[in-house]
A and B are shown apart, each in its own frame.
Chain A
Amino acid sequence: MSSFLNYFVSFGMSFESARELLMHFCKKYELDHARTHLLLSELESIQKNQASRLTPEEFRELVISRREKRQNKFKNENKSLVLSLVVRMIDSDATLGKLLTLNKQINHDLKDDVYKQALLMSQPERLPVKRVAIWSAIFQIKEN
């Protein structure tokens, strides 16, 4: 079915018709919802026209949705929310380490962001030294 989707697009079939045909065969061969969803997603992603490109309004909605997601993640922990934004600006491993010792709640809320910042952005020249310790913390591996 996946190969046929490419033919639909190559032959210039409209997205609506291709989707209708796809749904017909999914029903006929009793495909489960997960597979049907994947095929529909694939069909959408291979459209040649740019109708599926995000509009400025959709971009704005995405930004708002990301902001809401961040706020939901920290719920009522405003300090953690503010610090999570600050973490991305810190380029000192020592400072990042200190953030995690502020208190238990902040440690819980921020450790993923702090580890990410330490691995990807902060003091890259120290990576060979710090990698094992950070990975051990992420994977919750205790020192032997």
Chain B
Amino acid sequence: MAFKSKVEADPSVISAVEEVIDLDVMRSAHNMTGVDQQVLKSVLKTYAYYNPEIEYCQGMNFIAGLLLMVFKDETTAFKALQELVDKFQMAELFNVELPKLKLYFYQLDRLVNIVLPEVHAHLREEQINSSYFASAWFITIFTNSLKQ
């Protein structure tokens, strides 16, 4: 209730990201059958207010959606999202400049180079780096790739 009260007391704080959240939730609705879109929006908007350092980043809708699908409860999904970001230091993944995402691209490139050198060489020849295909994997921690 505490977070809800804060948002209710000062709705202007969260209004800046509300539109983006509404659009993203609408776009990802087909991936999340059984998730109440209003509840999902509520979780994301509350989190945006709760953590102004991150607010909202594209991809969080998939993560929160999966948590809602599993826990089937708004409060638990919010707590899980909060703990997930803290426990695995995901703030840097969602920060404006996405520093951790760049690090993951580098690590993926290095791993492909080590484990599949021919594939790595081919991707280099074609000037394809991991940011072309791996952004969604990392930013949604693979939740957008999961089957229902």
Contact = CB atoms under 8 A, between A and B. Distances in A.
Chain B interface size, as a band, is: 20 to 34
A108 to B, nearest CB: 15
Nearest to A54: B114
A136 B103 CA distance: 29
A50 B70 contact: no
Contacts of B84: 139
A60 to B, nearest CB: 14
Contacts, number: 58
Interface stretch (A34-42, A64-72, A93-101): A34-42
B6 interface: no
A48 interface: yes
A42 B84 CA distance: 28
3 A-B pairs with the lowest CB-CB distances in the bound complex, closest first: A45-B109, A139-B83, A41-B106
Contact of B110 (A45, A132, A136): A45
A135 B87 CA distance: 12
Interface centre among A52, A54, A141 (most CB of B within 10 A): A141
Contacts of B87: 138-139
B79 A45 contact: no
Contacts of A6: 127, 129
A34 B110 CA distance: 19
19 contacts: A6-B127, A10-B127, A41-B106, A42-B105, A42-B106, A45-B110, A45-B129, A48-B121, A48-B124, A48-B125, A50-B113, A50-B121, A52-B110, A135-B80, A139-B79, A140-B83, A141-B76, A141-B79, A141-B80
A144 B114 CA distance: 47
A84 B124 CA distance: 39
Contact of A135 (B70, B99, B129): B70
